[in-house]
A and B are shown apart, each in its own frame.
Chain A
Amino acid sequence: MKASHKSILIWSCIIGGIILLLWFLTSVGTKPQQTEVGTISLSQPATAQDHSKGAEGAAFTLVEYSDFECPACAARGPVLEQLLHEFPNDVRIIYRHFPLTSIHDNAMLAAQATEAAAIQGKFWDMHDVLFNTQQQWSTEESPQEYFTKLANSIGLNTEQFTTDITSQVVENAVKEDTKEAEKMKLPGTPSFFLNGQKISFNSYEELAALITKNE
């Protein structure tokens, strides 16, 4: 083979390879990895004990298994808020705990913090403030002090909060949700169920489409 031909061959292989590689990575990297869906259905239907937001008796119930230390869960917050805003009469959102304790050291205590806040009727306030400050407390060695500060900021009785956060009742409430999640073999968080069927979506538009399609 002539040297010039060899050069052309080498360079076109490399440049072509790189272009193909980038094209492939762009198509994969634009969407989050999809987990297997459709095969899992919700084992425990919505009950009165669940923490819910939105219209009672709504046609659509969205159950979320989530972890306060998971960045992807925090990122979904605005999407869910928008859903409630756009469909005020049709959607109810339920939050259930699935702290991934194997990778998140503070997730369990954060979940307990919301349950402790729930005793004083402020589950969702704690839910919001925990997600908003995730980066501040997720690397703390012992985050309880920080959680107490948050409790104070949303107007909780901090003394009661401090007692409740580590109480058996609160711990059991988190563990019960987690047990259900493990029973369904959920691969991670966030995991969503729309009227009992597992769904996944990448944007508000995709989620809203699932609602309007079934309306």
Chain B
Amino acid sequence: MKNLQRLLQKTNNVPKWLPILFLCIALFGFADASYLTITHINNVTLPCYIVEGCDTVTSSKYSEIFGIPVSLLGALYYLSIIVLTTLFLDKKYIGAIYIASLLTPLGLIASAYFMVVMFGILKALCIYCIGSAISSTILFILGILYITRFHNNNAYEQKKEGSQEKTQKEKG
């Protein structure tokens, strides 16, 4: 209960660039993953270009898990980060950006797995998949940055505020 209250607390202690950058990267990742999903669902086979390669990766058996295109899962992941970050920008809830940060390792692990499949097993190139891997890596770095630098600061600040209130009460 206490934890929930803590997540619903508001903060002004996070520099504005952090959630905005978070949002931009998540939007980029979302666009990228949505495009892959749309082409996958429409079964469009992109031609092979000498320089860019072709869609060996997105038409492989690794592109689906239990019949669900993995790019759709990616798009939902980015969408949840977008919603949480927007919630933070709007209401300044600590919990919103905290949960978004906690989600980022998921994206990183998934991306790492797909990079291994792509280069290790399929030995093919998929520009859009690399795009998604880059954005999930940046999100992970930003998430770590938030948790280590700012989240604890918030906690510290609240503790301080709490103890100040306490002393004020005692004085009063």
Contacts and interface: CB of A to CB of B under 8 A. Distances in A.
A30 B44 contact: yes
A197 to B, nearest CB: 18
A72 B50 contact: no
A162 to B, nearest CB: 25
A13 to B, nearest CB: 9
Contact of A11 (B42, B48, B53, B90): B90
B35 A103 contact: no
Nearest to B52: A188
B86 interface: yes
Given A28-B35, A105-B123, A72 B47 contact: yes
Contact of B121 (A7, A35, A139): A139
B97 to A, nearest CB: 15
B86 A189 contact: no
A31 B59 contact: no
Nearest to B46: A32
Contacts of A135: 60-61
Contacts, number: 89
Contacts of A32: 44-47
A103 B45 contact: no
Nearest to B86: A14
Contacts of A73: 48
Contacts of B30: 18, 21
A100 B53 CA distance: 9
Contacts of A70: 47-48, 54
Contacts of B34: 21-22, 25
A147 to B, nearest CB: 18
B27 A72 contact: no
B44 A29 contact: yes
Nearest to A28: B35
Contacts of A138: 56
Contact of B42 (A6, A29, A33, A75): A29
Interface of B: 27, 30-31, 34-35, 38-39, 42, 44-56, 59-61, 79, 82, 86, 89-91, 121-125
CB-based closest 8 A-B pairs: A29-B38, A188-B49, A70-B48, A75-B45, A72-B45, A103-B53, A29-B39, A72-B47
11 contacts: A25-B38, A28-B35, A30-B44, A33-B46, A71-B56, A72-B55, A75-B45, A139-B121, A139-B122, A188-B48, A202-B44
Given A30-B44, A187-B50, A189-B48, 9 more contacts: A6-B90, A21-B27, A21-B34, A31-B44, A32-B47, A102-B50, A103-B50, A104-B48, A135-B60
